[in-house]
Amino acid sequence: MPRLFHRPPKYRFHKSTKQAVVSFFGKHIYLGPYGSQQSHRRYQELLKKWETARHQQQSEQCAGAEDDRTAVQKAVASITASTLREKRLAGSPVTISELILVYRRHTKSYYRKHGKVTREAGTIDEVLRLLRKHHAMTYAADFGPLALDELREAMIDELDWSRKYINKQVNRLRGMFKWASAKEIIDASLSTALRELPGLKKGRTRAREIVKVSSVSDADIKATLEFMPEIVADMVRVQRLTSARPGEICSMSPGDIDTSGDVWVYKPAEHKTEHFEKDRIVAIGPQAQQILKPYLQARGAESFCFSPAESERRRRERAAIARTTPLSCGNRRGSNRVSTPRRTAKDCYSTASYRRAVHRACDKAGVEKWSPNRIRHTASTEIRKRFGIDAARAVDGHGSTSTTEIYAELDLQKAVEVMRQVG
């Protein structure tokens, strides 16, 4: 069937015969004297035929596209870890593209928490996309340390990843080959060979370095608090007093807090290390209790203590109180709202929205931007300075003091005092 366009055939004037003419399905059809009722009537009849044929062609194209999609989906679904193992045992090589396909299915099902895919699966996808770009049709058995080293250079040149992030992404790639080795999709020697490639060393690579996350001074926190919404400011104060993670502050709920003792105990429903079957306990002292009491009294057991929706409601109420335009003039309250806004305030802060609120306050206060995770560094450093590394480990909920040292910075003043006496 000839190609049909979205525009209908045009009613035209044929000079030599003085007739109306239409090009229809590749043929010229004369309709009668140009401008006559007869020609217009025949033109309308042809338009109906064109419309019918056009819809028929679209239906056939859609049906063909649907059949193609179904065939592709069936072909993709037929590629599994079992079929790739059988393919290898039969002597046929497995390509990197096939390996990526089955491994992505594994990551989407394995890296889940509370029914949602975690960020780890998305991070793995980033490096798999780069691998597929450069080695989609490479046989997995031919991908050795040299190919991995060349791919690492592409991480620097094409994506400008930092040195530490590149080392982590390379380890994630090694994880894919280790998984494939365990499934007998590839030979175990390949996974072992990839581990022989050493990681990038500081000062010996073109990869950029990132600034180490450090603590934020209490002076900067105090200056920023004045420009924060009341609820966000209380989140910062509670985090500073408890050394909790930003996500633990965002998801804090009255039902998760035991208020029976003089020191309250908060057991987050979800936390960073729960998939390691570790419990997380956050101790809440008297100062933090005074901040939290109004929120516990006003919330149900299953509600979140800190709500963006409530913060927005309070902002609107303050704006209404501060209004100077008479109510008889200007916009009435609520009349200038967008009917379908792109974003609406939710019942719970996310770590991203919490961070954005802090950054906006930093801009208003004129201080260097800091993120909520730096508050944990500040609190941990103070606890280590006053009570020791073991106390900081217990408060932060770390399994070892080596992890705590990442958050609790060394006290330079103490080292200076020691060297003043012995050095």
Q: Where are the domains of the chain?
A: 12-74, 81-194, 218-321+346-412
pLDDT (0 to 100) of residue 361: 95
Q: What's the CATH fold of domain 218-321+346-412?
A: hpI Integrase; Chain A (1.10.443)
The string of pLDDT tens digits covering residues 255-270 is 889 898 888 888 887 7
- Candidates 371, 123, 115, 365; CA nearest to 246 is 371
Higher pLDDT, 322 or 222: 222
What's the pLDDT at 176? 96
pLDDT at residue 1 is higher than 50: no
Q: How confident is the model at residue 414 (pLDDT cuts 50, 70, 90)?
A: low
pLDDT tens for each residue of 170-190: 999 999 999 999 999 999 999
The pLDDT score that the predictor gives to residue 74 is 76
CATH code given to domain 81-194: 1.10.150.130
Mean pLDDT of the region 248-257? 90
pTM: 0.68
Handedness of CA 378, 383, 386, 389 (dihedral sign): negative
> Rounded to whole angstroms, what are the CA distances from 141 to 136, 177, 236, 239, 367?
13, 10, 52, 50, 53
Give me the pLDDT at residue 271, please. Answer: 65
Residue 423 has pLDDT above 60, yes or no: no
Examine the pLDDT at 384 and tell me if it is beyond 80.
yes
Task: Tell which residue, 63, 94, 62, has the closest CA to residue 79.
Answer: 94
Average pLDDT over residues 13-33: 83
**pLDDT-wise least confident of 131-140, 203-212, 291-300, 341-350:** 341-350
Please give the average per-residue pLDDT across 278-289, as a whole number: 85
> Maximum Cα–Cα distance for the chain, whole Å?
115
To the nearest whole number, what is the mean pLDDT of the chain?
85
